[in-house]
Amino acid sequence: MHKHTAGFEYEVYESLSQLSPEDASLLVKARAVTESAYAPYSTFYVGAAALLENGEVVTGTNQENASFPAGICAERVALAAVSSLHPDIPIKTMAISYNGNGIPSDHPISPCGVCRQVLTEYEGRIGAPVRLVLGGLKGEIYIIPSASALLPLAFTSDELP
């Protein structure tokens, strides 16, 4: 028997003022776009802002549906838009924020399991990491160098014939 450890390193910032101007601007966009999320059932509004290698920013918000689980997360909305509109331009960084009705938005949240899988697939397809900037409307901010770090031992296309 052998034991292995899976883990990753990430940066923690106390506030928006400590981020680079590029990362701060992207997180501000993710925070702002939470206002256009459609989340009448959970009242948990999530926004994602993806900075592309060409400098363009594409945003996405969660879109719920009365027929659960037909909704889609903000990260996957942004990824679908990028893949459709800019299929050959990699995402450099994606910022993710949230505004929970009645819940303090004062700490980072990370993508759900499905979004982690989709982000990992995107990184493999495009051949480049996607940095993540995670933060609420205030409080600490995490920067993760590659989305795939959130999904160790991921199921990938390598397992398919």
User: How many Cα atoms sit within 13 Å of 60 on the Cβ side?
Assistant: 23
Q: State the catalytic residue, choosing from 14, 64, 75, 159.
A: 75
Reply yes or no on whether 75 is catalytic. yes
Both tokens assigned to 67: 């027929």
* Element holding 94 (H helix, E strand): strand 91-100
Two tokens at 144? 């993760």
Q: How many helices (H) and strands (E) does the chain have?
A: 3, 6
- Catalytic site positions: 75
